[in-house]
Amino acid sequence: MSTSRLSHLKFPIPPARSAGGSDVFGVFCSLDSIEYNERNSLQGRFNVQQLIDGTRDLQIHLTQEQLEALDAYQHALVEWNREFNLTAITDDVGIQVRHFLDSLSCFQALESGERFSAKKMIDVGTGAGFPGLPLKLLCPGIKLTLLEATAKKIGFLEHVTAHLNLHDVTIKHGRAEELGQQPAHREQYDWAIARAVADMPILAEYLLPLVKVGGRVLAQKGEGAPAEVQRGEWAIQQLGGRVRRLVPVELRGLAETRYLVILDKVAVTPPQYPRRPGMPNKRPLLPKAS
Ligand code: SAH
């Protein structure tokens, strides 16, 4: 990408750090060097300061190109949301903190060696692309499948992935219970991730069948995570999983603590799981006594 394509940006572009000084892309922006004020925003659209500060807290450094992509994503989300109800969060700071920053925090769950390798990841119940798409923008090597049951959201996902020119993104319209029984998807993924889709015992039945033994599950949860995981522990075991760890995440601009719940897939999932569509939700896997 040439700098001329960005000449319309009001966002100040820091000088290239490489000795050759060809352009700033492909190297991390030194965000500290960006003098930011209220009027400066990408394409004059959004104030990205909160996002920049928040990612810095998470030890994430977004390049100018990544910031520009997130800006385009936000613009598309706001535009499409006028016609289709994609998300209840529509204000600028809300999108940047509750959608983008929260999604990007999943980066902390990935081992350093995985962050830029070609891991196969499926985001179940992705909605308007969260957390999968911001994570893909941060880690372009990921081979991402976005799974979503609602057709109108599929239309948006197709639009935004084409608009952002993303490679290795597959969009699937369907339910986790269906994909989990299809050979093309069952036990095929290094990671299955989800945010705001279901309670842990149900979510375990959606996610664990999709993960290969040796792979992992990542569920983004709120303050009730420790109790939820305890409630889900029996289901997790039945499905071939084991709780690895819970990582508390503090996001700048959010009062509540968020959690990354990470499970290991340690054994093959018994063939009866996932049960048919609707069953995990109707009869969650809970131990008999509860
Ligand atoms: N992950 C997104 C969306 C959360 S809303 C975010 O955090 O913003 C939950 C989404 O999951 C909805 O879009 C719903 O259609 C989808 N969903 C719920 N159950 C599902 C299932 N069994 N299979 C696939 N998608 C599902």
pLDDT by residue (tens digit) across 209-252? 999 999 999 999 999 999 999 999 999 999 999 999 999 999 99
Sequence-separated (6 or more) residues with CB below 8 Å from residue 281: 198, 202
Please say whether the beta carbons of 72 and 129 come within 8 A.
no
Cα of 198 vs centre of ligand 1, distance in Å, is 8
pLDDT value of position 290: 52
**Residue 126 Cα, ligand 1 centroid: separation in angstroms?**
5
Residue 114 is encoded by which pair of tokens? 């995985």
Local structure of 210: helix, strand or coil:
helix
Residues 172 and 147: beta-carbon distance below 8 Å? yes
Binning the chain into helix, strand and coil, the percentages to the nearest 5 are 40, 20, 45
Write the CB contacts of 73 (distance below 8 Å, at least 6 apart in sequence): 100, 129, 133, 134, 137, 160, 164
Q: What are the distances in angstroms from CA 60 to CA 30, 74, 125, 255, 274?
A: 11, 19, 25, 20, 35
∠ CA(26), CA(30), CA(32), 5° rounding? 160
Residue 145 has pLDDT above 50, yes or no: yes
pLDDT digits (tens, 9 = 90+) for 162-195: 999 999 999 999 999 999 999 999 999 999 999 9
Give the binding-site residues of ligand 1, using a 6 Å CB cut-off: 124-127, 130, 147-150, 153, 175-177, 195-197, 206
Calculate how far, in angstroms, residue 250's C-alpha sits from the geometric centre of ligand 1: 24
288 pLDDT more than 90: no
Q: Which pLDDT score, from 0 to 100, does residue 36 have?
A: 35
| Ligand 1 atom with minimal separation from the 103 CA | 7
Architecture of domain 113-282: 3-Layer(aba) Sandwich (3.40)
The rounded Å distance from CA 145 to ligand 1 centre is 14
| Among protein residues, the one whose CA lies closest to atom 9 of ligand 1 | 197
Angle at 258 between CA 193 and CA 254, to 5 degrees: 125
Amino acid at 45: R
* pLDDT value of residue 48: 84
Ligand 1, atom 14, residue with closest C-alpha = 125
Protein residue closest via CA to atom 21 of ligand 1:
175
Indicate which residue's Cα is closest to atom 24 of ligand 1.
Answer: 175
Model pLDDT for residues 6-20, shown as the tens digit of each residue: 333 333 333 333 332
Per cent of the chain over pLDDT 70 is 84
Q: What is the mean pLDDT of the chain?
A: 86
**Strands (DSSP E) along the chain, which ranges?**
120-124, 143-148, 169-173, 189-195, 211-221, 241-249, 258-265
User: Shortest CA distance to 60 belongs to which of 246, 259, 218, 252?
Assistant: 252
Ligand 1 geometric centre to CA of 23 (Å)? 40
Cα–Cα dist 141/102, whole Å: 20
Q: Which protein residue's CA is at the shortest distance from atom 1 of ligand 1?
A: 126
Ligand 1 atom 10: residue of nearest CA: 125
Q: Where are the domains of the chain?
A: 113-282
Is the pLDDT at 201 greater than 80, yes or no?
A: yes
Distance between Cα 57 and ligand 1 center (Å): 28
Residue 192: CB partners within 8 Å, gap ≥ 6?
Answer: 121, 122, 124, 206, 207, 208, 210, 211, 215, 216, 217, 218
Who's near 88: CB < 8 A, 6+ residues apart?
Answer: none
Let me know: does 145 contact 122? Beta carbons within 8 Å. Answer: yes
Q: Are 260 and 220 in contact (CB under 8 A)?
A: yes
Would you state the structure tokens that stand for residue 155, as one six-digit string? 């239309």
Q: Give the pLDDT confidence of 89-107 residue by residue, as tens digits.
A: 989 899 999 999 999 999 9
| CA–centroid distance, residue 245 to ligand 1 (Å) | 24
| Closest atom of ligand 1 relative to the 174 alpha carbon | 24
- Of residues 19 and 261, more confidently modeled: 261
- Tell me the CA–centroid distance for residue 123 and ligand 1, in Å: 9
In this prediction, residue 105 carries a pLDDT of 97
Q: Looking at the CA of residue 87, tell me the nearest atom of ligand 1.
A: 8
